[in-house]
Structure 1
Amino acid sequence: MVKIKITNCHIHTFNEENQVIDSGEIVIEGDVISYVGEVRDGENDKKDFSRVIDARGKVCLPGFINSHTHAPMTLFRGFADDLPLMTWLEDKIWPAEDKLQGEDVYWGTLLSCLEMIKSGTTTFNDMYFFLDDMAKAVGESGMRAVLSRGLIGLEERKAAVGLEETEKLIGSWHNAFDGRIKMMLGPHAPYTCPPEFLIKIIEKAEQHKLPLHIHLAETKFEVEQSKQLYGMTPIEHMEKLGLFNYPVTAAHCVHLSPGDIEILSRNKVTVVHNPGSNLKLGSGIAPVIQLLEAGVTVSLGTDSAASNNNLDMLEEVRLAALIHKGVTGDPTVLPACKALEMATREGAKSIFCEGEIGMLKTGYKADLILLNLEKPHLCPFHDLTAHIVYAAQSSDIETVIIDGKVVMENREIKNLDQEKIMYHAQKMASILTGGIPCEGASN
């Protein structure tokens, strides 16, 4: 069994007490953490370990959890900017997605995995199509992922195909790659899934005992449309249909009434805040402070690189910490530690992986990152948590370990060919969108 020791580092555990260790070490045995604590005298014999990593001048954190994204949409980065959501979807994204093939999704997913690993993300929660190709890419990358086949019920034939594919995908990929891949059910949104179709999806959730991943209350238009069609908000509508009788990860939840927040809290629905995407699409700012006050689990996601336009979770942490101070006029709300919790511990809760990832704790999966603190923009050193949230850059993340395996060290990705992935992604994107390949792209 591979046994790794990381020593002489700051450790931000994000355990239940948010314990911070100034000079500590972590021992990894196989794919789990077997020790987190102070540096132990007499435990430095290298022969006891496959590797000893001296992390002096660095902080060790749990890997970031991107609780809502659409990884293959990196192929549409920069393709449809400065547009409202429905125009963005109907006029640009959906027509381009109609051209997608499995190979496009494979290379787009690998490009996302490259970007996420380089910015410290170790787990992502995704909804998309061609999941066989996505799962293959995730397996090769070494990342951890929760995948949902996006389900849209506007056309009867396509809706039936989506449900059939979901059934097969669950059988093929749930708990694949030593458990690194898990599956959810993925109804896209109430405005693309009529009630009778949502009921069929709910039946699948009951059959397979799996959570659901859905977009909810992202725009004012969606809420008003729901009121016109059903006489209730999207949140009220989902509760009436019985969706919330099952574990649900709800992305966005920007436009909520006090009654909606009470429903989400009472039903223990977890909410994914996507500040960058919501700002860029002009969708608004989710009432995160009210959700937290109501006891709702709130995590962070980037949404897709087509609407963000990156997958940098540290940027989302900083945005979340800043914008709610601005909109409330209260600089004490959503402090730095809480923002980081939303990207780690709360992320695990949000995608129903609590007890497995999201903390640096004995028995948890060895998913962690090392961030170099010895940088000009992190000097002088006063407050570790504040530095990570308000001053650090994702490029400061030097080492990423997932499932006990070093997937990036000294900024070098170990098991993916960056140049080859970028070449194929650019080629696929140019065909899909009619764009011009970047000069210098080579195989």
Structure 2
Amino acid sequence: MSILIRKVRLKGEVVDVLIKGSRFDSIGTDVDAMADVVIDGSGKAILPSFHNAHTHAAMTLLRGYADDMELHTWLSEHIWPFEARLTEDDIYWGAKLACLEMIKSGTTFFADMYWHWKGTARAVEEMGMRAALSAAFFDFEDQGRAEAMKRQVMDLHEASSSCSDRIRFILGPHAIYTVSSDSLRWLRDYALEHGLLIHTHLSETRKEVEDCLGRFGKRPVEYLHDLGLLAPNLSLAHAIWVDDREMALLAENGVQVVHCPVSNMKLASGRFDYAAMRAHGVGVALGTDGCSSNNNLDMVEEAKVASLLAKVTAMDPTVFPAQETLDAATVNGARMYGLDAGRIATGMLADCILVDLNHLRMVPGHNLVSNLIYGAGSACVDTTICNGRVLMLGGRVEGEEEILEQVRASVARLTGRTAPEADAC
């Protein structure tokens, strides 16, 4: 499959972009080539697509279900009881809705931690995206449950070998308060043996830090360090309540962090200090978290909030400028998960978006990146391409209506209430 995008704007120039297979083949002012698909890029700019470095995709099923409460009450009294009723088919449709939302807002990759791994994998395969999917691991200090979780990890790891190369299997211990020390050591060793990435929540709330100090006599990053988990194959979601010593440990060990500002703000979990994290040399990518704590998967919105929050936290308007924020939403997430993507360049994976320069939020167009980060919104994304395949053209994705219908049916079964149609709102 080949795609030729004609007369599209790239870094101030009007160029032709040829995609062959899954990669950018040639970029120039006059690419003379035939292609299976030809797209008129006039009035549009080509940019890297977004990489959502932390989410729980099928939590689209819980959008608006339990809002306006703190994390631990929210989880234990509302989210976990709801999730206990989910089937693999529910997860499949919830993940398809997540993929649809991400494609329509210019995201082609997401890192996921959730139940029913195979349901999410099936949705990703069908929707044409990329994903790093983890087998969510909880044992709550229960040895029997820990053994069942270990077996599930091994079984899913084996099953993942039949997936396309767009799906990467990773390990997903939920958090230090839901996974025992013994299981964390086992996951560390399993990852080392099989060359796997580990992704976990850490230091999301002040309570988590206080509990860790009370139980182990050390802060969460120090606790993971003593367990031997701090390494370049580890990424941490949130990492809000970390001190200078912990940031230095993260940097020394090549650990990267996923910043989820909207979720952090909505749950009042705390304020991530981006300037301090970057000053210590820690790599930072962006993620939306799940739809029950965000409540959307819009990386454009996430990027704007991240930049503004960093500025007001540091009381410095020069912190986290637009281009750096765009990098955090694109190439940093790609790098975190070992993807040769996040830039528009020959030889790179052809994951990209076309932004409508005639959209009212992109006019007058003094600075493309500033417009995108601070003013645009996902409605400006016209076309989304992943792995050399057009996933959205002209704002439309194939099969949208069926996905919405099936999600409403799942929610009606799970809650006993009929989900409202759009025209009933």
**What interval of TM-score do these two structures reach, taking the shorter chain for normalisation?**
over 0.9
2:29 to 28, 31, 39: 39
SS across alignment from 2:46: strand
SS across alignment from 2:264: helix
- Establish whether residue 405 from structure 1 lines up as the match of residue 395 from structure 2: no
* TM-score normalised to structure 2 length: 0.96
The alignment status of 1:124 with 2:110, answered yes or no, reads yes
Partner of 1:271: 257
1:50 has 2:32 as partner? no
- Paired with 1:190 and 1:403, the residues of 2 have a C-alpha distance of 36
Does 2:158 correspond to 1:158?
no
| Amino acid paired to 2:419 | P
Superimposed CA distance per residue, residues 301-337 of structure 1 (whole angstroms, 9 cap, x where no aligned partner) = 0000010000000000110111111122211110000
Give the TM-score normalised by the residue count of structure 1: 0.93
Label 1:434 to 1:258 Cα distance change in 2 as closer, same or farther (>3 A): farther
Unaligned 5+ segments in structure 2 are none
Partner residue of 2:346? 362
- Does structure 2 conserve the Cα–Cα contact (< 8 Å) formed by 1:7 and 1:39? no
SS at match of 1:412: coil
Corresponding residue of 1:15: none
Cα deviation 1:327-383 (Å, max 9, x = unaligned)? 222111100000000011111122232xx1111122111111101011222221211
On the 8 A contact 1:119/1:312 being kept in 2, the answer is yes
Could you tell me whether the CA contact under 8 Å between 1:107 and 1:421 is conserved in 2?
Answer: yes
What is the distance in 2 between the residues matched to 1:246 and 1:109?
28
Q: Distance in 1 between matches of 2:421 and 2:268?
A: 33
Q: Deviations over 1:414-440 (max 9, x none)?
A: 3xx211111121221233344442146
**1:188-238 alpha-carbon deviations (Å, 9 max, x no partner):** 110111111111111211221101000010000000000000001110000
Work out the CA distance in 2 between the residues paired with 1:441 and 1:147: 35
Whether 2:157 is the aligned partner of 1:135: answer: no
Question: Does the Cα contact within 8 Å between 1:31 and 1:404 map onto a contact in 2?
Answer: yes
| CA distance in structure 2 between the aligned counterparts of 1:380 and 1:305, rounded to whole angstroms | 33
1:28 CA displacement: 0.4
Equivalent residues of 1:111, 1:421 under 8 A apart: yes
Deviation at 1:156, TM superposition (A): 2.7
Q: How does 1:60-79 map to 2 (within 5 A)?
A: 60-79=46-65
Indicate the residue corresponding to 2:267 in structure 1. 281
- Aligned-pair identity in percent equals 38
2:222 corresponds in structure 1 to 236
Deviation sequence 1:2-25 (CA, Å, 0-9, x none): 2221121222xxxxxxxx242122
The aligned counterpart of 1:437 is 419
Structure 2: how far apart are the matches of 1:319 and 1:313?
10
Can you list the C-alpha shifts for 1:239-289, whole angstroms capped at 9, x where unaligned? 100011451011000111100100110011010000000000000121111
How far off its partner does 1:79 sit?
Answer: 0.3
Q: Following TM superposition, where does structure 1 have runs of at least 4 consecutive aligned residues deviating by more than 3 angstroms? A: 433-436, 439-442
Residue 406 of structure 1 aligns to which amino acid in structure 2? V
CA contact (8 A) 2:231 2:254 kept: no
- How many residues matched? 423
> What is the aligned partner in structure 1 of residue 328 from structure 2?
342
1:86 to partner: Cα distance: 0.3
> Residue type of the partner of 1:425?
V
Q: Note closer, same or farther for the CA distance 1:151–1:441 as it changes in structure 2 (3 Å cut).
A: farther
